[in-house]
């Protein structure tokens, strides 16, 4: 198993329909391939995103019929690269959709799928209200995916604020953690870099975080600054603003070295929480 690879996080813009999303994704994917990337990662809702008030209404289609999925599968097979489709909307239960991430191998086959666990239902201000659960059904399982370079832990955007998910993925063997996102332009300046670096440091893993940038059709905006973060917490690449790439060569031996220096993944212990008037609980 090779431990060195070149990774590209593609920074696409939120697009209102399949055709525009496909053109945006393919243009950047071809740039990444030309730059030597072996693993390409795209942002959350890279298959299209539209907001209507606090709710999201991205264009949705079944995996086998999704134009963006099909186009990226063709590209993966043509160039022999692995592609993480950060997320697309697929039909879900009760008339809602799933916010689904798909991992494609170098033959263009889907080898793993992950439905976003934590949905973005927040009130950032009187007008900055987000209610992802109004149209999206939450997933039910964490996913650790196999790649030629080592296990990849899957997550999406708001999951970033739930460190226990990444701890479980790392303790199950993840050496890379994917965080495709459409992180808001409101929270991004304060939280995006800090949270991604924290997840890398806590788990001694590479964090690969492609984030959309620019206005969301219908309202809101995504922050950009797609990141590749090393297991010591160092930012190896930052795509800044606008459409583009965060590109870096990584050596997964750095994961073993970081975990050797600080073996925190082996130091978790049961503990008790005590509070006035409350019984002790074992965590």
Catalytic annotation, residues: 44, 116, 157
The sign of the CA dihedral 21, 77, 80, 83 is: positive
Longest dimension (CA), the chain: 64
CA 87 to chain centre: 8
In this structure, the dihedral spanned by the alpha carbons of residues 73, 77, 78 and 83, taken in order and rounded to 10 degrees, is 60
Contact 8, 30 (CB under 8 A): no
Q: At a CB cut-off of 8 Å and minimum separation 6, what does 75 contact?
A: 26, 29, 30, 33, 81, 83, 108
Cα separation, 231 vs 150, in Å, equals 14
- CA 121 to chain CA centroid, nearest Å: 18
- Measured between alpha carbons, how far is 101 from 246 in angstroms, rounded to an integer? 19
Interior angle at CA 251, CA 248 and CA 256, nearest 5: 140
């Amino acid at each position: 198993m090779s431990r060195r690879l070149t990774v590209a996080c593609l920074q696409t813009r939120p697009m209102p329909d399949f055709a525009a999303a496909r053109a945006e994704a393919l243009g950047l994917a071809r740039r990444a391939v030309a730059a030597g990337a072996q693993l390409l990662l795209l942002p959350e809702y890279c298959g299209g995103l539209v907001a209507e008030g606090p709710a999201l209404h991205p264009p949705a289609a079944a995996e086998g019929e999704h134009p963006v999925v099909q186009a990226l599968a063709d590209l993966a097979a043509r160039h022999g690269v692995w592609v993480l489709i950060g997320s697309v909307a697929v039909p879900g239960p009760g008339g809602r959709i799933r916010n689904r991430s798909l991992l494609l191998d170098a033959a263009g086959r889907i080898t793993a799928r992950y439905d976003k666990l934590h949905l973005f239902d927040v009130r950032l201000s009187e007008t900055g209200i987000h209610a992802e659960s109004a149209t999206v059904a939450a997933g039910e399982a964490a996913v650790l995916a196999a790649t030629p370079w080592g296990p990849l832990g899957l997550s999406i955007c708001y999951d970033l604020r739930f460190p226990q998910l990444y701890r479980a993925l790392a303790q199950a063997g993840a050496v890379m953690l994917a965080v495709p996102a459409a992180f808001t332009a409101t929270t991004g300046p304060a939280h995006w870099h800090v949270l991604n670096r924290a997840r890398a440091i806590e788990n001694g893993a590479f964090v690969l975080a492609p984030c959309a940038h620019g206005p969301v059709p219908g309202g809101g905006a995504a922050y950009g600054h797609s990141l590749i973060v090393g297991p010591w917490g160092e930012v190896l690449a930052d795509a800044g603003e606008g459409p583009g790439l965060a590109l870096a060569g990584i050596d997964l031996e750095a994961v073993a070295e970081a975990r050797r220096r600080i073996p925190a993944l082996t130091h978790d212990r049961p503990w008790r929480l005590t509070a006035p008037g409350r019984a002790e609980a074992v965590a």
